[in-house]
A and B are shown apart, each in its own frame.
Chain A
Amino acid sequence: MKFMLMMHAPRGNGEYQINQWKPERFRAHIQFMRDLNKGLREAGELASAEGLAPPGQARIVRSNGEGAPEVTDGPFAESKEFLVGYWIVDVENADRAYAIAAKASTAPGPGGKPLGIQIEVRQVMSGPPDSP
């Protein structure tokens, strides 16, 4: 079963503002994520993982099929959280996906303790069922 694990970070000036972290704390955080991905890859559970560029460059695109499409900066400037990155894991069951998400959530923060970052877990829908 495939699951998408979406890591959301709150906006604002809290501890998620990584440009305020001490280099060694930031290094530890990166290392944690690298090790996590390496473990998933070696276990054959990692389908893909990507980090997203900060939301400052994000755009909302809408089109009703007539005229030029509408491309705007908002409305996420006001939203409380934004998507930082995601994993797609291919695992035995949902519990395993939750366990991976829980592990990712413990990535160390600026004080060295687990950040407790919020991770949304959603099952990825599959193609048509195999013929009997």
Chain B
Amino acid sequence: MKTTGVHLLRELAPHVLGAVVRRYGDFDAAEDAVQEALTAAAFQWPRTGVPENPRAWLIQVAARKLTDHLRSESARRRRETKVVLETPPGENVVPPPDEAQVEEDDTLVLLFMCCHPALTRPSAIALTLRAVGGLTTTEIANAFLVPEATMAQRISRAKQSIKGSGVGFAMPPPEARNASLGAVLHVLYLIFNEGYATSSGGAHQRVDLSSEAIRLARAAHELVPESSEVSGLLALMLLTDARRPARSGPDGEIVPLDEQDRSLWNKEAVAEGAQLVTDAMMRGPAGSYLLQAAIAAVHDEAARAEDTDWLQIVELYAVLMRMSDNPTVALNHAVAVAMVRGPAEGLALLEKLDRDPRIKDHHRLDAVRGHLLERSGEIEAALTHYEAAAEKTASIPERDYLLLKIGRLRGR
């Protein structure tokens, strides 16, 4: 089937699910029915052509699957049918056109449901990709390199958790809205990172999770355009993903930011991301996603690595540090300080992190220290820390990168 068909189905998925859940109430069964309808469409549309109103077609098929399912369920139980279906299937299942607003809210409600704190993050990720992203269980399983049965079980448990926690298909109350949105952004951020981590090497015919995360973040941005954190997350994804063609070599080896061929960067993505940052910055105080996006924008807008405005990056990290006590941010801040005021100042800042149990044994602290020592000309000490980092990292490309660096330094 053509990619446009797949994209159309994924775009329609949350609207269809929203309509079916609103009508029949049962999120779990409705979600299964919509998956069946999407599968049917993926098989049928390339043969018969896309129906005139694809959304109505999907809603109708999903509603029929759902009522079939509910009927056979009640028959199986040999009880009186508890579920009263007020409308016969196929009749008037399409919402009138003026329900566009309801539909938008549906997608947002679905996002809030799927990213609810009652779910574990892996469950929330899987359910979001399926219920809001319109991906099949097979696609999600392949993207995460786990067996399909495992992923199916994860999704099914996620739905049980939603049922158990009593989260209804409704907008969270206004006072909980910010926290709910924060949970959604975190899940989308994790999906993006998963794609970022797995996209180099070995990725054959897999759904591109980074692109899916960008698509979902874009949808969230359209639904809540006033939120500067949603803008910030979308911008951060675009500005990071823009470097994708340059950030790894032909065999998936890491190419660090300062050695990347910047002419390969996706200029449209950079421009869109930078514009989002500018617009959101004017709207009011910046949150952590927007600040991270601003830092990414400063990097992306430098024509050459040596043109990078490190002073501005130092300032942005300083603001981030005041906002949250995050050792990774402190580590990045130290790197930026070293770029502005020399490696000795950066190394001095690392000493505080040696006492932070959250990061003291992390390979990145060793890698950064190795880098700053190398820049200070202390090659032997640098080697010790690069070796420690290579020993600790769980990423094969990163380990290979560090080992090659070690080999080169030793060969000098």
Query: Footprint of B on A, CB under 8 Å?
Result: 18-23, 26-27, 30-31, 34, 41, 51, 53-54, 56-57
Contact = CB atoms under 8 A, between A and B. Distances in A.
B404 interface: yes
Contacts of B50: none
Nearest to A27: B404
Contacts of A21: 403, 407
Contacts, number: 36
16 contacts: A18-B403, A19-B391, A19-B403, A21-B407, A22-B407, A23-B403, A23-B408, A23-B411, A26-B400, A26-B407, A34-B251, A51-B396, A53-B392, A56-B391, A56-B392, A57-B392
Interface in B234-280: 251
Given A53-B394, A54-B391, A56-B392, A26 B251 contact: no
Interface of B: 204, 251, 387, 390-394, 396, 400, 403-404, 406-408, 410-411
A41 B204 CA distance: 10
A30 B400 contact: yes
Given A21-B403, A23-B403, A41-B204, 19 more contacts: A19-B390, A19-B406, A19-B407, A20-B410, A22-B407, A22-B411, A23-B404, A23-B411, A26-B400, A26-B403, A26-B404, A26-B407, A27-B404, A34-B251, A51-B396, A53-B393, A53-B394, A54-B391, A54-B392
The interface residues of chain B, by DSSP majority, are classed as helix
Given A34-B251, A56-B392, A57-B392, A19 B404 contact: no
Contact of B407 (A23, A41, A51): A23
Contacts of A19: 387, 390-391, 403, 406-407
A19 B408 CA distance: 11
A27 B253 CA distance: 10
Contacts of A26: 400, 403-404, 407
Nearest to A23: B407
A54 B390 CA distance: 9
Nearest to B251: A34
Contacts of A53: 392-394
